[in-house]
Amino acid sequence: MPFFLKHYFDPDWDPAKLTPEEQADGSVDHHERQFVVNVAAGDLIAEWIPVEEAGDDLDERFVSEEKSFPAGKGTGIKREFPDKLFAAVDGYVCYKEGRILVRNPLTVHSDIDYHTGNVNFVGNVVVEGSVRSGFSIEATDVRVNAQVDGATIKARGGLDCRGGVKGGRKALLKAGKDMKLAFCEFATLLSGGDIMIKGALMHSEVYAGKRLAVGGRLTGGNICAYNYIYVGEQLGGGMDTDTSLILGYKPSLLFADQRYNVRIKTLHEDIASYEKALNKGEEFKAEYQPRLESARRELDLLKDLKVKLWDGIYATERLDDCRVLVPGVVKPGVEICIGSAYYRVDDFLEDVFFYYDNGEVKIGASAAKSKK
């Protein structure tokens, strides 16, 4: 009696022959190409069924007189279900040399761009090329060997960008654990652990859950770290470059507050626009009055949420062990906040550290001696 091997994934999946995902309206999204087929441990990936039950799915390539699975690494059979093949690990499922495999990590041997689309993977991802502007990666641990442009990368674990980041004010990089970058320009960084940058960090928004270490220059941007910032060569870019450092509060909550601020600013602009339209005459009331009322309600809600958020932020305050260490040069114009204590650098400094003492930000000599 012949049997048919029914697949619960596309057995002909080929990352070199992907097509854009079709939307409900018939259009296609060139950023979504289903680059990877995710499975979790325990998922059914194939089973033997009688040929007569195959229907339109029947494919002669997968018809056999014997129920012998082409099982490879990462798959398994349960004793109580001998005709079914399951994923033994989290990963992506595919055929390789005639065998069904579940693999982790996922290695992308090219750029993340229009040929691959976005990548959303249950396991770890290694990108041999670059991650181009407008594209995204979501995975556990992520390593990018070339450059990250204005892309979005969300790593549930660690993130390692060996080719650096040129974000163009569009890049958003998140890591649940530590983040390592060769350098970073014009990007937003959010990490649950440490952020370590080998070279320069320039004009970026940074939220380091624990510590931030920059081997080269730190110039421009708003930098938040829970309790420790190290800058090896130069902090600040002079009076014409705004460089702000904040320590002592949980950075992820400060990031949430920044998002609220962006939305509140947009709502104020929308409200002004709607009010201007309503002043033109009654014929605009039906369209703009509901929008105005909705924007005002959202604005009031966000203001209440900000108050509650800051109650939470103050509850995370930890000031006494905060340090900013700079064995190199500190240029005038740098602003440092440790909790509510504020200090603005007005002169050139070298080999110093900043710390909190009795409600003030103070300066100590010889950063090297203060290293943790």
Instruction: Tell the burial category of 204 from Cβ atoms under 10 Å away from its Cβ (0-12, 13-18, 19+).
Output: buried
Q: What band does 367 get if pLDDT is binned at 50, 70 and 90?
A: low
191, containing H or E segment: strand 184-191
pLDDT tens digits for 165-201?
999 999 999 999 999 999 999 999 999 999 999 999 9
pLDDT of 27 > 90? The answer is: no
Percent of the chain residues past pLDDT 90, beyond the cut = 87
Write down the pLDDT at residue 32: 86
Write down the pLDDT at residue 148: 99
Q: What band does 19 get if pLDDT is binned at 50, 70 and 90?
A: confident
**Is the dihedral angle over the CA atoms 34, 35, 41, 46 positive or is it negative?**
positive
Write down the pLDDT at residue 162: 98
Evaluate whether 335 touches 342 at the Cβ level (below 8 Å): yes
Question: Residue range 259-285: average pLDDT?
Answer: 96
pLDDT tens digits for 216-269?
999 999 999 999 999 999 999 988 889 999 999 999 999 999 999 999 999 999
- Which stretches does DSSP call E strand in 1-90? 3-7, 21-22, 28-29, 38-39, 44-50, 63-64, 75-78, 81-87
Write down the pLDDT at residue 142: 99
DSSP string, 133-168: TT-EEEESSEEESS-B-S-EEEESS-EEETT-EEEE
**Is the dihedral angle over the CA atoms 95, 43, 136, 124 positive or is it negative?**
negative
Write down the pLDDT at residue 361: 97
pLDDT of 369 > 70? The answer is: no
pLDDT of 372 > 70? The answer is: no
pLDDT of 207 > 70? The answer is: yes
Q: What band does 45 get if pLDDT is binned at 50, 70 and 90?
A: very high
pLDDT of 371 > 70? The answer is: no
Say which range, 22-31, 157-166, 338-347, has the weakest mean pLDDT.
22-31
Question: Residue range 1-19: average pLDDT?
Answer: 87
